[in-house]
């Protein structure tokens, strides 16, 4: 007996949960970030599949920027 057709139908019936990643690039000097953070918080509250990450780099660096996050400046 070939189990492949059964396995294919079982796999097709499964629902794969997907996640959405939103990234915020921020520093203490950013004038847009407070509003952006509020918008992101509301999105995450209303849509549990959204993952929110803030990189403390973007508008330059400040005392809270880690060396790892400073490398993300090229992405901004």
For the stretch 27-46, pLDDT in tens is: 888 777 788 889 999 999 99
61 closest CA partner among 10, 27, 23: 27
Using 50, 70 and 90 to split pLDDT, how confident is the model at 9? Answer: low
53 closest CA partner among 20, 31, 24, 75: 24
Does pLDDT of 61 surpass 90? no
Distance of alpha carbon 2 from alpha carbon 63, whole angstroms: 63
61 closest CA partner among 37, 33, 28, 24: 28
Percentage of the chain surpassing pLDDT 90? 25
CB-CB contact of 58 with 76 (8 Å): yes
Rounded to two decimals, what is the model's pTM?
A: 0.62
Least confident of 12-16, 18-22, 56-60: 12-16
Does pLDDT of 58 surpass 70? yes
């Amino acid at each position: 007996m070939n189990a492949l057709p059964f396995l294919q139908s079982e796999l097709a019936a499964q629902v794969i949960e997907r996640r959405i990643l939103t990234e915020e690039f921020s520093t203490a000097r950013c004038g847009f970030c407070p509003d952006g953070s509020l918008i992101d918080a509301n999105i995450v509250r209303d849509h549990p599949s959204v993952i929110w990450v803030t990189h403390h780099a973007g508008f330059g660096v400040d005392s809270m920027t880690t060396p790892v996050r400073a490398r993300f400046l090229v992405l901004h």
